Amino acid sequence: MGVVNGLSVDIEEWFQVGAFERTIARADWEALESRVASNTATVLDLFAETGVKATFFTLGWVAQRQPALIRRIVAEGHEIASHGWDHARVFTLDAARFRDDLRRTRAALEDAGGVKVTGYRAPSFSIDARTPWAHQVLAEEGYTYSSSVAPIAHDHYGWRESPRYAWRPLRDAPLIELPVTVAELAGRRLATGGGFFRLLPGALTDFAVRQVNRAGQPAIFYFHPWEVDPDQPRVAEAPLRSRVRHYSRLGAMAGKLRGLVQRHHWGRVDAIAARETTP
């Protein structure tokens, strides 16, 4: 077997995404149709059919309302990890509010799943140069790894100066940061997960996975359950760019995922973090 890569799913409702954060108010979330359980069930079925395990970075807001979903994820051998409470970007918080967010989310996840939560992913990969305190807080709260950095320059997120592969952000703590995988072409870094995977040819992600595997490194791939749901409600009031990014090629996503999962070796992100911390 070749390098085992990290397969991850960011669990959030279709209306909790960054693309709609200025269009749909948090106060309106409870009145909107919940589709996260059925969409995640589709993903779980696909993983069961292909025999892979993954990490599900989950909002505390979702775990509080869908405990049966969390129990199913755990029962099927996948990892539950934190995605924050309600998709607030880390750079919109201060250290104290970030700590509160971590604690509240972990309590909801562990209450629902009955397992310890040791991994974290920032909403919209929002740990970057603006949050010099974030990794320290994560370490103090007992997290063993973070997968919260996108090592690219992008209009929505990114920390181009980050190392491309696993790195230790703190000198006095074993916390590992596992950036999501990017492809390198002609000195440029290109994103490959989520909407990029959905919108661009699948060959780009295959290239990125093989590129990092040839360097002896695991790829870290991510997507969202709402991306396999072509029938989700449309938000006509959202900006055109947001609508194009969010809704394009939803119907093709499940098939592309199946192919990607079958072409490479995949596993849970906590197992990759454990290997990185083993001397």
Helices (H), ranges, 78-133: 95-113
In the three-class reduction of DSSP (H, G, I as helix; E, B as strand; rest coil), residue 267 is classed as strand
Give the pLDDT score at 277. 74
Give the pLDDT score at 2. 81
* Encoded tokens for 148: 């919260």
Cα distances from 279 to residues 115, 147, 208, 274, in angstroms, run: 26, 20, 27, 10
pLDDT tens-digit profile of 187-245? 889 889 999 999 999 999 999 999 999 999 999 999 999 999 999 999 999 999 999 99
pLDDT tens-digit profile of 16-75? 999 999 999 999 999 999 999 999 999 999 999 999 999 999 999 999 999 999 999 999
Give the pLDDT score at 279. 54
Q: Phi and psi (nearest 5°) for 55? A: -110, 135
Which amino acid is it at 215? Answer: A
Give the pLDDT score at 191. 87
In the three-class reduction of DSSP (H, G, I as helix; E, B as strand; rest coil), residue 200 is classed as coil
The answer to whether the CB of 147 falls within 8 A of the CB of 57 is: yes
From 89-98, 110-119, 148-157, the region with the lowest mean pLDDT: 148-157
CA–CA separation, 78 and 82 (whole Å): 13
* Encoded tokens for 34: 């919940």
Q: Phi and psi (nearest 5°) for 100? A: -60, -40
Give the pLDDT score at 187. 84
CA–CA separation, 215 and 182 (whole Å): 13
The answer to whether the CB of 219 falls within 8 A of the CB of 6 is: yes
| Enclosing H/E stretch for 7 | strand 5-11
The answer on pLDDT for 79 being more than 90 is yes
Rg (the chain; Cα; Å):
17
CA–CA separation, 2 and 76 (whole Å): 24
The answer to whether the CB of 142 falls within 8 A of the CB of 127 is: no
Query: How do beta strands 188-191 and 182-185 pair?
Result: antiparallel
Please report, in angstroms and rounded to a whole number, the separation of the first and last CA atoms in the chain: 22
Helices (H), ranges, the chain: 36-50, 60-65, 67-75, 95-113, 134-140, 194-199, 202-214, 240-247, 250-263, 269-277
pTM above 0.85, yes or no: yes
The answer to whether the CB of 168 falls within 8 A of the CB of 136 is: no
Spatial CB neighbours of 267, under 8 Å, sequence gap ≥ 6: 4, 5, 6, 7, 52, 53, 54
CA–CA separation, 270 and 37 (whole Å): 23
